[in-house]
């Protein structure tokens, strides 16, 4: 596995690869490091579909607010490199902040509307930073496909919108959320959880499972489902709700509280952000409603989501 820390090294390695195999697909898995099995699943998917897989490890300061955990975000490059190599990654790109932003960036990528809710509302400026760094990585690597986990479904929607609007020649591949055996969504921030917090964090997956059952009730409205979800989360004493939202997906537009879900024929997302101590966790579930037959969207449906770059 090649490890590059500079843009010059990255471009040279990619040029050699494209010279050797001009028709081979290049896949990109953008990460902030402290890799886990959720990231590994993205690498494996990329490896099964692309000849050359690039993983970037970069904790991007532009997407952190002034009171967030940029300085404390977990980092372990040796561990990351071992996991990437184990999963068949061809190139690991590990730039410094100075390498990615040698001067103060005066250009930002702003994506509107799909960033107005959820993490976009509770973390102002976050998705400006995401859009900027992802567009930089796309320009540097020029991948044919880029792989993102659906745990951050809003991020997927934001990147898809950016690619669509700017005609970027890359297919965005959404991949299913990977969970611990007890249901907790894998996240680099899980390492912050104390034992009691870790146990109570399971309330997130329980809430999503409960929502899947409530959807089948013919009189269930968006407001009733949200009330039930909030009540379930609040049953965990350590849980502090940031947001609980039921929205159309991928537009992330709101649903009227009194709207009966059985009447909808659309894809919906129930998205959660909950703090346990100083650790903020997100999770979500996609549901497809179809003429009174709502169901949880399965893995095949997630992976079959259309690319916006075509």
Whether 306 is in a domain gets the answer no
- Same domain (yes/no): 26, 147: yes
User: What is the pLDDT confidence band of residue 67, given thresholds at 50, 70 and 90?
Assistant: confident
- Same domain (yes/no): 16, 162: yes
Which residue matches tokens 């609980």?
244
Domain that holds residue 27: 2-175
The pLDDT score that the predictor gives to residue 298 is 53
The pLDDT score that the predictor gives to residue 80 is 97
As a whole number of angstroms, the distance between CA 200 and CA 203 comes to 6
Token representation of residue 260: 């009966």
Whether 305 is in a domain gets the answer no
As a whole number of angstroms, the distance between CA 233 and CA 283 comes to 12
Whether 287 is in a domain gets the answer yes
DSSP 293: -
- Same domain (yes/no): 24, 163: yes
Q: Sheet harboring 295-296: ordered strands across?
A: 239-248, 267-276, 279-288, 295-296
Q: Is 37 annotated as a binding residue?
A: yes
Whether 309 is in a domain gets the answer no
- Same domain (yes/no): 155, 215: no
Token representation of residue 4: 């590059």
39 is catalytic: yes
As a whole number of angstroms, the distance between CA 214 and CA 237 comes to 23
**Three-state DSSP state, 33:** coil
As a whole number of angstroms, the distance between CA 38 and CA 155 comes to 16
- Same domain (yes/no): 166, 126: yes
The pLDDT score that the predictor gives to residue 295 is 53
Q: Is 188 annotated as a binding residue?
A: yes
For residue 29, what is the domain's CATH number? 3.40.50.620
Q: Is 150 annotated as a binding residue?
A: yes
Taking only the tens place, the pLDDT of each residue in 249-273 is 999 999 999 999 988 999 999 999 9
Q: Which of 39, 126, 164, 248 is catalytic?
A: 39
- Same domain (yes/no): 146, 61: yes
- Same domain (yes/no): 6, 146: yes
For residue 199, what is the domain's CATH number? 3.30.1300.10
- Same domain (yes/no): 149, 216: no
Whether 121 is in a domain gets the answer yes
Last residue of a domain, one of 142, 175, 208: 175
Select from 22, 4, 5, 91 the least CA-distant residue to 52: 91
Residue range 96-105: average pLDDT? Answer: 97
Whether 290 is in a domain gets the answer yes
Q: Is 186 annotated as a binding residue?
A: yes
Last residue of a domain, one of 175, 204, 224: 175
- Same domain (yes/no): 36, 148: yes
Domain total in the chain: 2
The pLDDT score that the predictor gives to residue 310 is 36
User: What is the pLDDT confidence band of residue 300, given thresholds at 50, 70 and 90?
Assistant: very low
Q: Is 212 annotated as a binding residue?
A: no
Name residues whose C-beta falls within 8 Å of residue 120's C-beta, 6 or more positions apart in sequence.
114, 126, 127, 154, 158
**Three-state DSSP state, 139:** helix
- Same domain (yes/no): 73, 159: yes
Whether 16 is in a domain gets the answer yes
User: What is the pLDDT confidence band of residue 79, given thresholds at 50, 70 and 90?
Assistant: very high
The pLDDT score that the predictor gives to residue 303 is 47
Whether 164 is in a domain gets the answer yes
Residue 234 has pLDDT above 70, yes or no: yes
Give bridge partners of residue 267 from the DSSP assignment: 288
Q: What percent of the chain clears pLDDT 90, i.e. is strictly above it?
A: 89
Residue 2 has pLDDT above 50, yes or no: yes
Residue 9 has pLDDT above 60, yes or no: yes
Residue range 39-57: average pLDDT? Answer: 98
Global pTM value: 0.92
DSSP 260: B
Contact of 270 with 254, CB cutoff 8 Å:
no
As a whole number of angstroms, the distance between CA 295 and CA 310 comes to 28
Last residue of a domain, one of 123, 152, 175: 175
- Same domain (yes/no): 171, 192: no
- Same domain (yes/no): 10, 143: yes
Between 42 and 298, where is the model more confident?
42
As a whole number of angstroms, the distance between CA 196 and CA 237 comes to 10
Taking only the tens place, the pLDDT of each residue in 115-172 is 999 999 999 999 999 999 999 999 999 999 999 999 999 999 999 999 999 999 999 9
What string of DSSP letters covers 107-137? ------STTSSHHHHHSTTHHHHHHHHHHHH
What average pLDDT does the structure give for the chain? Answer: 93
């Amino acid at each position: 596995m090649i490890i590059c820390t500079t843009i010059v090294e990255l471009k040279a390695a990619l040029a050699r690869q494209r010279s050797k195999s001009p028709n081979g697909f290049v896949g990109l898995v953008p990460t902030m490091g402290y890799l886990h099995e959720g990231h590994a699943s993205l690498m494996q998917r990329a490896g099964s579909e692309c000849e050359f897989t690039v993983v970037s490890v970069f904790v991007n300061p532009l997407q952190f607010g002034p009171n967030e955990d940029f300085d404390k975000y977990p980092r372990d490059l040796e561990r990351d490199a071992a996991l990437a190599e184990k999963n068949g990654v061809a190139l690991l790109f590990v730039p410094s902040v100075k390498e990615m932003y040698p001067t103060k960036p005066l250009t930002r990528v702003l994506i509107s509307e799909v960033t107005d809710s959820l993490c976009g509302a509770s973390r102002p400026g976050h998705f400006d930073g995401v859009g900027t760094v992802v567009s930089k990585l796309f320009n540097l690597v020029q991948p044919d496909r880029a792989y993102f986990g659906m745990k951050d479904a809003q991020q997927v929607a934001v990147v898809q919108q950016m690619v669509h609007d700017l005609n970027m020649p890359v297919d965005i591949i959404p991949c299913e959320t990977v969970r611990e055996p007890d249901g907790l969504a894998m996240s680099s921030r899980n390492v912050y959880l104390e034992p009691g917090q870790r146990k109570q964090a399971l309330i997130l997956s329980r809430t999503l499972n409960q929502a899947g059952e409530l959807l089948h009730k013919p009189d269930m409205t968006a407001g009733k489902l949200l009330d039930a979800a909030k009540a379930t989360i609040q049953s965990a004493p350590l849980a502090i709700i940031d947001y609980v939202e039921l929205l159309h997906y991928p537009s992330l537009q709101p649903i009227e509280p009194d709207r009966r879900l059985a009447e909808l024929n659309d894809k919906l997302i129930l998205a959660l952000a909950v703090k346990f101590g100083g650790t903020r966790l997100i999770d979500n579930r996609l549901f497809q409603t179809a003429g009174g037959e709502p169901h949880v969207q399965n893995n095949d449906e997630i992976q079959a989501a259309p690319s916006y770059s075509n």
